[in-house]
Structure 1
Amino acid sequence: MDLKQLRSFLHVAETGSLSKAAKRLNVTQPALSRQIRLLEEDAGVALFIRTGRGVLLSEAGALLEGRARVLSEEMERLKMDMTAFAGTVQGEVRLGLPPSVGLVLAGPVIERFRADYPNVRLRVTQLLSGALQDALLEGRMDIGVLFEGNVSSQLHSEPLWSEQLYFITAPTQPWASRKEVTLEECLEQPFILPGTKHGLRDLLDKEAAKIGKAINVVVEAESLAIQTELVCRALGSTILSYEACKSHVEAGRLIALPLVNPTVERVSTLVWSKDYPLTMAAQAMSEVIRESAAKVFTPL
């Protein structure tokens, strides 16, 4: 069995769709279909059940998925080990960060990396978590930081730190006089949040479901700057880390109330694609991120 075919198989298995997997892999659907057909011919059994809405794993496909994932991860580790013998760290690193992380971590990470690896070109992009995950899966980013939750199984994910989330709203009554707020209380409010494919939204939807509630999202904003600006205008509230809106809070435009009963935390993780093993330069970046994060945040 060909490793490329196995990796394509894993993407189809995860997305449940040949068209979605082809888009992610940046190949045509006929080319991807041919890879899957050849893999099925080699296996001597159908790996997917075709339906009107996509594909489902057959019994044989479910067995292959677990073993193919182990093989893919072992090949990733092997390639990473081999790059350790490649010599001087050079080339390019494409780093992706969510806005709330970039505000705090981008400065120290880039400063340290440029000092230690002056021969490496560095491209830094700020994206919300859903778009960042797509960029990593499609090979448009080498390494990034995502929030734990709905991270693709096709990404290597390493927890870095955890941070508490706050109820963020305009400084109006009754919130201006409060010191904290329960999750159930704040869920009665209209919210401004990113779309459902983003890590923060996924986390909050799950926390709300635990207490039998749903979030009343009146505006979906795919930009942290727009999100906080709309909250400043009292058009709704949101939930974020304190660092994500610190400047607005210190300027008196927003207030940040700790969530209690329960507290809500999110875990930030270092991620890269299992289909695109890290180069020496990207491995160096991963070490800089780990060390810088440990100085800025409380590591896990």
Structure 2
Amino acid sequence: MPAVKFLDMQTLQIFVTTAEERNMSNAARRLGLTQSAVSQSIRQLEDQFGVALFNRGRRPLTLTAAGLALRNRGVTLLEDMSRLKAHVIDASRGIKPDVRVGLVDSFAGTCGPAFIKAMLNESTTLSIRTGLTPFHSEALVGRDLDIVVSSDPLADLDGIERRRLLSEQFVVITPKQHKAAIHTPADLRELGEALPIVRFNRQSHIGAQIERYLRRIDVRIARRLEVDTADTLTSLVAGDIGWAITTPMCLLQAGEYARKVKLHFLSASHTGRSLYLLARRDEYSHLFDEVYAIAHSIVSTSLLQRLAEIHAGLPKLVDIDTETEHEQ
């Protein structure tokens, strides 16, 4: 098997410059090289890939489909290389060059602005991705994300550092005009017969957790309506479409709709979900501690205050872990 010949970055720079200039003479002049050196480098690239990169029968030069693909990716690679030295130096000084963070929607929608503002001081380049927990988990394992705030602790995977931020109990919401109080599984069964339940999407982690809870208390309700987001779920309940099971953070995420529904607290349920900070073990160890401190401070102060503004009973459903509690 022939040895793999790696792409030379200088040759790639020559190709990208030629693609930008659409003329080998102009590219040579811009790079301080001879035209023959530029031509030879392009030929070497074409031999290496086994494809033509330029349509040489046209003037000015145009890229083939293969050449266009290499140009697009090559520009990104060259930009990354140009930043590499600065990033290595920053890392040696304790400054994290690029941090890619995944935030579950409910955290992003409630604590996100304060969290991101603080994180800008901990990184040179910050990339934030929001969405469903399963996608963030895959991205963390696949090295597309560095740190994740998630409701899934990835307990079955080795090599993951995890620390719980908080736990929150489920809360039932109904339209304002619903008179009966909802506290027990029997109440939920009766409610399910009177009104349709609005469910979180079954692809979401919270949706799966709520389904497990309903099965555990033997409440079987037909699946008729699913939604993707907490604000949509709460707005449908406020609009007298049905009822739902949610959490304090998801309720806060719903904004003004949270004040347009009736809250019911389940008796001694102690069932809900937890949020965790996750990272790959032995990577970003110092940053992991700093990020946890930031997130913990936000949920300990502003989150509880804002929940109390919706209903005095909501902060009691949230149990915030101490900063010293640490899971491996």
| TM-score, normalised via structure 2 length | 0.54
- 2:106 equivalent to 1:104: no
Aligned 8 A contact 2:174 2:262 in 1: yes
Which residue is 2:267 aligned to? 260
Runs of 4+ aligned structure 1 residues displaced above 6 Å come to none
Which residue is 1:232 aligned to? 238
Q: Decide whether aligned partners of structure 1 residues 245 and 262 sit closer, same or farther in structure 2, where only a CA change above 3 A counts.
A: closer
Report how far residue 166 of structure 1 moved.
0.8
- 2:98 equivalent to 1:92: yes
Report how far residue 123 of structure 1 moved.
1.8
1:156 to 142, 158, 161: 161
**Residues in 2 aligned to 1:219 and 1:250: alpha-carbon distance in whole angstroms:** 19
Report how far residue 89 of structure 1 moved.
1.0
**Residues in 2 aligned to 1:215 and 1:134: alpha-carbon distance in whole angstroms:** 31
Report the aligned-residue RMSD: 3.1
Which residue is 2:179 aligned to? 174
1:242 to 240, 248, 251: 248
Q: Decide whether aligned partners of structure 1 residues 249 and 128 sit closer, same or farther in structure 2, where only a CA change above 3 A counts.
A: same
Q: Secondary structure at the match of 1:163?
A: strand
1:132 to 133, 136, 139: 136
Which residue is 1:218 aligned to? 224
Q: Decide whether aligned partners of structure 1 residues 135 and 194 sit closer, same or farther in structure 2, where only a CA change above 3 A counts.
A: farther
Aligned 8 A contact 2:185 2:219 in 1: no
For residues 1-300 of structure 1, the aligned pairs below 5 Å read 86-114=92-120, 116-117=121-122, 119-148=123-152, 153=157, 155-175=160-180, 178=181, 180-187=182-189, 188-189=191-192, 190-246=196-252, 247-249=255-257, 251-252=259-260, 254-273=261-280, 277-278=283-284, 281=287, 284-295=290-301, 296=303, 298-300=319-321
Aligned 8 A contact 1:133 1:151 in 2: no
Q: Secondary structure at the match of 1:100?
A: helix
Report how far residue 167 of structure 1 moved.
0.5
Q: Determine which structure has more spread, i.e. the larger CA radius of gyration.
A: 2
Aligned 8 A contact 1:147 1:269 in 2: yes
Q: Decide whether aligned partners of structure 1 residues 279 and 242 sit closer, same or farther in structure 2, where only a CA change above 3 A counts.
A: closer
Which residue is 2:12 aligned to? none
Report how far residue 141 of structure 1 moved.
1.9
**Residues in 1 aligned to 2:280 and 2:221: alpha-carbon distance in whole angstroms:** 32
Aligned 8 A contact 1:120 1:281 in 2: no
Q: Decide whether aligned partners of structure 1 residues 197 and 157 sit closer, same or farther in structure 2, where only a CA change above 3 A counts.
A: farther
| TM-score, normalised via structure 1 length | 0.59
Aligned 8 A contact 2:102 2:130 in 1: yes
Report how far residue 213 of structure 1 moved.
2.7
Q: Decide whether aligned partners of structure 1 residues 282 and 158 sit closer, same or farther in structure 2, where only a CA change above 3 A counts.
A: closer
Q: Decide whether aligned partners of structure 1 residues 110 and 150 sit closer, same or farther in structure 2, where only a CA change above 3 A counts.
A: closer
**Residues in 1 aligned to 2:176 and 2:293: alpha-carbon distance in whole angstroms:** 40
Report how far residue 251 of structure 1 moved.
4.0
Q: Secondary structure at the match of 2:170?
A: strand
Alignment-mate amino acid for residue 248 of structure 1: E
Aligned 8 A contact 2:231 2:251 in 1: no
**Residues in 1 aligned to 2:258 and 2:201: alpha-carbon distance in whole angstroms:** 27
Identity %, equivalent residues: 15
Q: Taking CA–CA contacts closer than 8 Å with sequence separation of 6 or more, which of the two structures ends up with the larger relative contact order?
A: 1
